[in-house]
Structure 1
Amino acid sequence: MAQSVAPAAVTGAPAIAPLSVKAVAPWALFFGVLLLTLLYFVGAEQGATSLLSGEAVHEWVHDGRHLLGFPCH
């Protein structure tokens, strides 16, 4: 026996409005920059490309660096 799907107006469920690119773009840009920053600190924050002096950042992300396959020694 086949079941029919009733439209949202009949069932009383709220209709889902589509998202526009203008609404999503700022969030996508924000999270993209955030992820690239995190990737930099995990993958490249040491040695010649270091933005911060000392070994503090290296020690904080050391295990994550190995987990993601970045060499550090």
Structure 2
Amino acid sequence: MAQPAVPPSQAARPRPAAVPLRVPVRDILPWAVLALVLGAALLYFVGAEQGATSLFAGTWVHEFTHDGRHLLGFPCH
């Protein structure tokens, strides 16, 4: 005779209610600030690092981010 996969004593047992995970804002805030700073730096390098606002001499940053500019819709030439 075949045995059931779950014994009858465990099959009818009620499950505890799901409790949502709570993360304090003070734990999230440093990561949110870091993401904001990195996102702003990325946006600057992809969108504005050329011409009058250039921080680095030459065109190597422009060439490195060239495809990203077109993908995000920034004009570059």
| Distance in structure 1 (CA, Å) of the matches to 2:65 and 2:21 | 40
The yes-or-no answer on 1:48 pairing with 2:52 is yes
| Distance in structure 2 (CA, Å) of the matches to 1:45 and 1:72 | 10
Instruction: Supply the AA of the counterpart residue of 2:51.
Output: G
1:35 to 32, 36, 39: 39
Quote how far apart the aligned CAs of 1:6 are. 1.8
TM-score by length of 1: 0.79
Give the unaligned 5+ runs of structure 1. 9-14
Instruction: Supply the AA of the counterpart residue of 1:54.
Output: G
Structure 2 SS opposite 1:19: coil
**Count of residues in correspondence between the two structures:** 64
Give the unaligned 5+ runs of structure 2. 1-13
- Runs of 4 or more, structure 1, over 3 Å off, are none
TM-score by length of 2: 0.75
2:28 to 24, 42, 45: 24
RMSD of Structure 2 on Structure 1 (CA): 1.9
